[in-house]
């Protein structure tokens, strides 16, 4: 049966990217050579634009965040023949400020949106909004989204709404099936950012975070084979060859 190789990544968070995780992904892309490449959101952190941002967050460099996120974006999509970028809630801060802010912030947001759109054009990546209905990418019988639920029950909540799906947002690597005539399972695919970020340091939720990504095969009849690569004791292990019998 004919198939296409695919990869889905999420949550590198601009200048908060983890260098070892990013290097491992680059090695994987070179080995696996997926034609379908999906970034499921939060390519940039934009912590400066977070409502209620701390003084330290407001003082951090927007340019560093933009530069590192953009470099990751270009490197990830290079070599893909079907590229998709799904806005995450952090990326969407630009769109929020363009709608509601005034003065310099609105101008910065408008300029940032133009930059993102230019990156998408240069990388031939189709962009989807951060929207629980319009931001869903369909790959045969598999859906990809950034994520619209959080917490320990996020996988089950996404499975109930979207069926078979992959999502980022929560930075964990876990799955949950739901009972139905057509079996459905949601998987959170992990993140590519550092675990120790200031805003999460005092919260135990970060102890569930895992670095990694999802990948596999998309078959012509809409079915798929799914794998996950994740950081275990500082190393990433992945398969590059499959056999169907």
Predicted pLDDT at 57: 59
Domains of the chain by residue range: 3-236
Mean pLDDT by 10-residue block, N- to C-terminus, for the chain (245 residues)?
Answer: 95 97 98 98 89 59 90 98 98 92 82 97 98 98 97 95 97 92 92 84 78 98 96 94 89
Predicted pLDDT at 206: 75
Predicted pLDDT at 106: 86
pTM of the predicted protein model: 0.94
Pairing of strands 36-39, 3-9: parallel
Predicted pLDDT at 56: 60
The encoded tokens of residue 86 equal 């799904």
% of the chain beyond a pLDDT of 90: 77
Predicted pLDDT at 182: 82
Predicted pLDDT at 180: 81
Predicted pLDDT at 73: 98
Residues 6 or more apart whose CB falls under 8 angstroms from that of 69 comprise: 12, 13, 14, 15, 17, 43, 44, 45
Predicted pLDDT at 196: 80
CATH architecture classification, 3-236: 4-Layer Sandwich (3.60)
> HEC profile for the chain?
CCEEEEEEECCCCHHHECHHHHHHHHHHHHHHCCCEEEECCCCCCCHHHCCCCCHHHHHCCHHHHHHHHHHHHHHHHCCCCEEEEECCCCCCHHHHHHHHCCHHHHHHHHHHHHHHHHHHHHHCEEEECCCCCCCCEEECCEEEECCCCCCCCHHHHHHHHHCCEEECCCCCEEEEEECCCCCEEEEEECECECCCCHHHCCCHHHHHCCEEEEEEEEECCCCEEEEEEEEECCEECCCCCCCCC
Predicted pLDDT at 61: 67
Predicted pLDDT at 202: 67
Predicted pLDDT at 58: 54
Predicted pLDDT at 89: 97
Predicted pLDDT at 39: 99
Residues 6 or more apart whose CB falls under 8 angstroms from that of 188 comprise: 147, 154, 155, 158, 166, 167, 168, 169, 170, 171, 172, 173, 174, 175
Q: Which residue has the tokens 């369909």?
A: 138
């Amino acid at each position: 049966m004919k198939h296409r190789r695919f990869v889905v990544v999420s949550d590198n968070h601009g200048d908060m990217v983890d260098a070892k995780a990013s290097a491992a992904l680059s090695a994987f892309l070179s080995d696996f050579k997926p034609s379908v490449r999906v970034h499921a959101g939060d390519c940039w952190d934009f912590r400066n634009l977070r409502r209620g941002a701390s003084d330290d967050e407001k003082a951090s460099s927007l340019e560093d965040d933009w530069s590192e996120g953009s470099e990751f974006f270009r490197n990830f999509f290079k070599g893909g023949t079907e590229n998709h970028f799904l806005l995450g809630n952090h990326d969407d801060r630009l769109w929020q400020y363009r709608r509601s802010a005034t003065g310099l912030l609105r101008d910065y947001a408008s300029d940032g949106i133009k930059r993102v759109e230019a990156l998408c054009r240069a990388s031939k990546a189709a962009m989807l909004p951060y929207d629980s209905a319009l931001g869903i990418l369909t790959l045969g019988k598999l859906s990809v989204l950034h994520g619209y639920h959080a917490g320990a029950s996020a996988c089950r909540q996404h499975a109930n709404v979207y069926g078979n799906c992959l999502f980022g947002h929560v930075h964990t690597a876990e799955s949950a099936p739901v009972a139905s005539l057509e079996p459905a399972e949601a998987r959170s695919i992990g993140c590519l950012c550092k675990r120790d970020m200031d805003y999460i340091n005092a919260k135990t939720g970060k102890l569930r975070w895992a670095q990694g990504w999802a990948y596999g095969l998309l078959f012509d009849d809409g079915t798929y084979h799914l794998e996950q690569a994740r950081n275990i004791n500082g190393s990433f292990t992945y398969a590059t060859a499959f056999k169907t019998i």
